[in-house]
A and B are shown apart, each in its own frame.
Chain A
Amino acid sequence: MRLILMSLLSGTLFGIGLALSQMTNPDKVINFLDLAGNWDSSLLFVMFGALAVTLLSFSKILKRSGSLFDKQFYLSNKSAIDKPLIIGAAIFGIGWGMSGYCPEPSVAGLGLVNIEAVVMVCAIYLGFFAHGVYQRMSKDS
């Protein structure tokens, strides 16, 4: 129960941060990605703000033997910079630039009762599913 409440609280903070910083405004995201146009660098400050906190806190938190309520940390143990990482990130960037939506504002957009967010979330799950199929096919061959 504690885990669920903390998740809810963290998600709520996260959502307020997203909306205040206007990450939820896809036009603003596209203007951030438009270096050659009327560049709006605001979203760089979102990353600065978030990293200023996490760079300090994560190293302290991860020195603990485990998390407060779950006794352990669930971290990726991958370290190789491999093809799927780079190709996947490149594909994600293309999708991000096309609409101005990454997964965060797509979820927040559901709360804004925005039809674009509904389309995004459905299409994202379709992409997840397609990747599952792709993985099974590449394992078989």
Chain B
Amino acid sequence: MENFTPYSALFGGILIGLAASLLLLCNGRIAGISGVMGGLINTTKEEFYWRFAFLIGIVISAFLLKHFQPELYHPREHFPIWLLASSGFLVGFGTRMGNGCTSGHAICGIARLSMRSIAATSTFMVSGFLTVYCIRHVLGISV
């Protein structure tokens, strides 16, 4: 468990919670990333601008943090691109079909005590656990 980092994780989580609260309080919007991304296409100007600004905020802060705290950044090499691309496809399809991802369901939805979000979060956690189990311990692929 040498990689166990509960304090930075807790602190990072608190910032994510504050960010989601700020967006709801000021703009009345749910900080669900897959929803924000999905709403970028085929939309009105107003819808596009706030979504784009939110996503750009994430990109800029990651970029800045990489410069000031490069030790947080662990690039991975030789990860098979076919696995990555199929993963992204399933993430995109699944989050659209299930109306949300880790932020929309697990953080914002559960905070609203939505049964849908609790059900969705339990489901994607279990399917994530099973997928890693199959890949690492059944197929024996370690990437």
How many interface residues does chain A have, given as a range? 35 or more
State whether A104 touches B103 (Cβ < 8 A). yes
Interface centre among A26, A53, A55, A132 (most CB of B within 10 A): A53
Cα–Cα, bound, A38→B136 (Å)? 11
Majority SS at the chain B contact face? helix
B87 lies within 8 A of A98 (CB): yes
A137 near B: Cβ within 8 Å? no
> Is the Cβ of B129 less than 8 Å from the Cβ of A84?
no
Bound complex: CA A33 to CA B81 (Å): 20
Cross-interface CB contact of A4 among B22, B50, B116, B120, cutoff 8 Å: B50
Which residues on B sit within 8 Å (CB–CB) of A126? 88-89, 92
A20–B23 contact, CB under 8 A?
Answer: no
Please determine whether A54 and B12 come into contact, CB atoms closer than 8 angstroms.
no
Partner of A79, one of B16, B95, B115: B115
Closest 4 CB pairs of A and B: A127-B92, A11-B57, A49-B13, A21-B12
Chain A residues in the interface with B (C-beta under 8 A): 2-28, 30-31, 33-55, 57-59, 61-62, 64, 66-76, 78-81, 84-99, 101-104, 106-114, 116, 119-132, 134
Can you list 5 A-B contacts with CB-CB less than 8 angstroms, sorted by A residue number? Answer: A17-B16, A19-B66, A20-B65, A88-B99, A98-B87
